[in-house]
Amino acid sequence: MSRAAAFVAIARRELDTIVRTRSYLALTVGLAVILSGIVTGSDALQGGYVPTAVDLLLPLELLVPTVSVVLGYRAFTGENDDLSILRTYPVSTVLLTVGVFVGRAIALVVILGVPLATVAVLVAVTPGVESAVFVTHSGVDSPALFVRFATLTVVFGVVVLSLALAVAALARRSRTALALALLVFLGVVAGGDLLVLSRLGGPGTTVDLASLMAVSPNSAYRGLVFETVIGVATADSGFANPALNVVGLAGWLAVGLLTTGIALAARSWNPQFVATWKAWLRNRLPTTEN
Amino acid sequence: MSTSHGESGVKSNRFVGIGLGLLVVLAAGSFVVAPGGARPPPVDFDDTVKVGLSLEERQSIGERVIPRVQVSYSQYPYVVGYRGLGQAAEAVDDPLIHQQFGYPRVVYVEVAPADVEVDDAGLLVGDRTNTWLPAEDVAYVVGSNATIADTTVTVPFEREADASAFADEYGGQVVEWSDRTRFEAPAGNGTTARSRIDAHHDRADTTVAERHRLLERETSVVVGANEPTVEAAIEAAPPNTTVLLPPGTYEGPIVVDKSVTLRGDNATIAGTGNGSVLTVRASDAAITGLSITGVGGEQEKENVSVEGWDSHTVEAYGYADSGIVVDDADRVLVFRTDIATRTAGITVRNSEETVVDTVSVSGAETWEDGFMGVTTIRSPIVLQNSTFVDGRDGVYMHRSPGITVRENRFVGGRYGGHFMYTSDGLFADNCATGQQYAGVVVMTSPTGTAISGNTVIESGQGIVPSGSDSYVGENTVVGTRQGISTNARNSLYTRNTVVGNDVGFRSASIIPTSRVVGNDIVDNHRPVNVGTGPLRIWSHDGAGNYWGAEVDTDREFVPSDSVDGRLHRDPAARTLAASPVVRGIRELRTTAPGMRPATVVDAHPRSTPVNETRLERGRALANGTAPTDELGCPA
């Protein structure tokens, strides 16, 4: 088995695991129902793609981290001792990490994408504001803006997924994994923003808020939605620093994947790793003999 | 893993890969395309939501040229058509418009014909071009002699040379779209209508005082003593004297064709049941102290023919059998007169400075059978202190600009006041109760109507304005199906007390350019009902309306919202309103209004009523504990 084939096999295994788990199907359907419910409850559907995105932004800020954490936090600690099985593939830790991540990310694309696509279809089939007397136009509203929104949402989800995988790699036991996963969830949903808030200080403090918010994953996501989806329709901008937000999200993705990789490596190589360190230290420690 | 399974596995892997690739391309593509980049083409002006000029003004302009503009806003589903460049220029730079409608994506201006002329009335004469050009490609002449409704208008030209030629001939300067602050100032926003009220009352006071002097004329003839009949008495009386009718019943119909004062002393004039009873054809005539009965039943005459664009209306409404007809006579006074009629009470045609004061008209029991209490045709009269019971409309006003209707009581008809083609009218301090359709209705888009200090109780609707630059203020509306509708554009709705109605306010105007602030809107089943259109913002400069003590004044209030709209009648709504999701979604929505139908936002709800005293009185009226007179109006 080549390295590429092994990588594909790992990703495939992860995807199949999720596809076989019925509860994930229920999760997808449930999400579709929740999202559709939110937008049908308001007048957003009639308003178009942008108002719909506006209505979904806040619920998704909560739902996406939930889904991502659920999807990732037990990737290596399942009842089947997943890590041991995964270790049977002849691949490096790097490929193993990326393979698991890609497999689950594809599942995440489906779990988030199907409900969002459902909503998009609802918008498309809901007649907009119409009048027998006046000519109407759709204003600045476009399915493309909704695709942007969906893309950003999935990207946000993928970033949180990488953090959830790190948790799964760090935790040896399911209970630890659950506690850490909750920590990731709270950190993503509230922690980053609280940090930003605390940095604002008094009215006299000079802070580049737009840049600061790029550090908080959900603020980075929200900023990108405001800047590239909502702002387009209202011709407003300055909600965020898009480039920096992308860097921020990429940074969290890197943190998640690196932590996963290192933790997996540490777990696999543990005895040898520790022995090496001990030897290294012993050699450099000053001798106590005199 | 068998070989075949392996192959299908590879195949399905490939599908997953291809699918993923397509998704990535789609996702990336969405960031590459520029939505809203394309300029929408101009549309037929008739299909736009039109703003500017009353129907009467447009009728008088007829086929002549009106400079027109159409604007597509990014967050407004309709194309907005402006009559007059000044109004359009102001709108595209207005931050409130931007907040509610989005930014203007494209502004098209219909250019005037190159050979356009200005006639003696100052109107632009020529063939409408129906050529719509982007605003920045057009040359504009400001400050020329061209006018519409006595206001200078900016005239747009396709070619600068034509604009210069026009300016040479009719004055003015050629400017560009970027100089649009130099365009004519658009009509007011209701504040002008409000500021005119005091002067309007003063003018009416003067007119009333002058007419009341007709009551001081010396008695020259007494019917029965000096002359046998009323007609003979009028014939015999010298002008500017009084004809006295002692107690008794006199036969109608009677024509007053001399400027005398007809004074009854407990006297009744009884018609034959055919036609009108008393007809005044002389200026400076006066009628006082009479009771009139025996009015005919015909609502529309067949042998009447009137000239002009409004001939149909005048024929249909201006010639009904009436208790009193004032026809082509100025400065007439009708005072302390009671009319029992199954048709019209008083019809005033083509009359200036006439006063109808302290009369009482009792009409047909069901409005469908009856007709108007007072009808004014091209007669800006003063109508005051009068009572109208039953019949169709209390007062029906046709082309009577500057009319004054004040301190009357309208009970149990269709509409209390009914404005048609009447601008700058004042409807003040009246009481309307039990009106089938509405306390007061304004039709045909006039300008400058002031509806102030009225009380409407137990009626279909309270106040239904239309047109623009109107003022609806200080009114009390209680127990109607729908309190006040905000149909009038560029108008001001303030200091009204709206209590205990099925629906408090109705936001019906498809183009919300009015200010609705400083009202007390309390205890209505639904505070606000909203029609199609963009977001309405009912607060201004940090001041909003009072919606009741239940409303949290720390956050914006959305009276049209399903949660906020029931705060006052369901305490559980407060719990739901505090949900992070409900709060968050609401917060987000106002950052990007979008083309949302059915939303009114008050960004600064008040913590205290605007007018505590009137609110208490309104509440008392709503629950039946307020002192009222015999007709149900506040005592």
B20 interfaces chain A, CB cutoff of 8 Å: yes
3-state per-residue secondary structure call for B219-247? EEEEECCCECCHHHHHHHCCCCCEEEECC
- Using CA coordinates, name the residue in chain A closest to B78: A136
- Cβ distance of A234 and B74 shorter than 8 Å: yes
How many folded domains does chain B comprise? Answer: 2
Residues within 8 A of A (CB atoms), B 463-522 only: 510
Whether the bond between B253 and the residue before it is cis, its omega within 30 degrees of 0, is yes
- Residue-wise pLDDT tens digits, A190-243: 888 888 777 766 555 666 777 888 888 988 998 899 888 887 776 667 778 889
Residues of chain A with C-beta less than 8 angstroms from the C-beta of B35: 140-142, 144-145, 232-233
- Using CA coordinates, name the residue in chain B closest to A12: B13
Range from A27-31, B186-190, B474-478 carrying the lowest mean pLDDT: B186-190
Q: What is the mean pLDDT of chain B?
A: 89
Q: Give me the torsion for CA of B550, B556, B558, B559, rounded to 10°.
A: 40
Any domain includes B480? no
**Sequence-ordered list of residues with C-beta below 8 angstroms from that of A239, at least 6 positions apart, any chain:** A210, A223, A226, A227, A230, A231
d(CA B61, CA B85): 16
Best of A12, A13, A63, A136 to mutate (most B CBs within 10 Å, chain B): A136
Any domain includes B362? yes
Tell me which residue in B44, B591, B594 faces A48 most closely, judged by beta carbons.
Answer: B594
Cα distance from B563 to chain A (closest Cα, Å)? 11
pLDDT at B4: 43
**Residues B179 and B233 placed together within one structural domain of the fold:** no
B30 interfaces chain A, CB cutoff of 8 Å: yes
Q: Taking Cα atoms as reference points, which of B477, B488, B608 lies closest to residue B546?
A: B608
Provide the residue ranges of all domains of chain A, joining segments of one domain with +: 3-278
pLDDT at B169: 93
The ipTM, to two decimals, is: 0.73
Any domain includes B350? yes
pLDDT at A290: 44
- Residue-wise pLDDT tens digits, A16-75: 888 888 888 999 999 999 999 888 876 777 778 888 888 898 889 999 999 999 998 888
Cα distance from A168 to chain B (closest Cα, Å)? 25
pLDDT at B596: 59
Residue-range definition of the domain harbouring residue B176: 45-184
Any domain includes B10? no
Domain final residue pick, B380, B397, B413:
B380
- Cβ distance of A109 and B103 shorter than 8 Å: no
pLDDT at B564: 81
Give the pLDDT band (50/70/90) at residue B431.
very high
Cα distance from A107 to chain B (closest Cα, Å)? 11
**Residues B274 and B150 placed together within one structural domain of the fold:** no
CATH code: domain of residue B337? 2.160.20.10
- Residue-wise pLDDT tens digits, A249-273: 999 999 999 999 988 888 766 566 5
pLDDT at A269: 64
d(CA B215, CA B620): 40
**Sequence-ordered list of residues with C-beta below 8 angstroms from that of A46, at least 6 positions apart, any chain:** A126, A127, A128, A129, B596, B597
Best of B596, B599, B600 to mutate (most A CBs within 10 Å, chain A): B596
Residues of chain B with C-beta less than 8 angstroms from the C-beta of A235: 74, 102-103
- Residue-wise pLDDT tens digits, A150-175: 999 999 999 999 999 999 888 878 78
- Cβ distance of A55 and B585 shorter than 8 Å: yes
- Residue-wise pLDDT tens digits, A171-188: 878 788 889 999 999 998
Does residue B395 contact residue B374 with C-beta atoms inside 8 Å?
Answer: yes
Does residue B366 contact residue B389 with C-beta atoms inside 8 Å?
Answer: no
- Residue-wise pLDDT tens digits, B565-593: 777 777 777 777 777 767 776 666 665 55
pLDDT at B113: 92
Domain final residue pick, B380, B405, B431:
B380
- Cβ distance of B74 and A235 shorter than 8 Å: yes
Any domain includes B392? no
Cβ pairs A/B, distance under 8 A: 144
- Using CA coordinates, name the residue in chain A closest to B599: A43
Any domain includes B588? no
**Residues B226 and B355 placed together within one structural domain of the fold:** yes
**Residues B241 and B375 placed together within one structural domain of the fold:** yes
% residues pLDDT > 70 (chain B)? 94
- Cβ distance of A147 and B26 shorter than 8 Å: yes
Any domain includes B336? yes
Residue A132 has pLDDT above 70, yes or no: no
Residues within 8 A of A (CB atoms), B 577-606 only: 581, 584-585, 588-589, 591-599
**Residues B231 and B176 placed together within one structural domain of the fold:** no
- Cβ distance of A145 and B35 shorter than 8 Å: yes
B15 interfaces chain A, CB cutoff of 8 Å: no
Residue B5 has pLDDT above 90, yes or no: no
Does residue B320 contact residue B299 with C-beta atoms inside 8 Å?
Answer: yes
B37 interfaces chain A, CB cutoff of 8 Å: no
Q: State whether residue A234 is helix, strand or coil.
A: helix
Domain final residue pick, B349, B364, B380:
B380
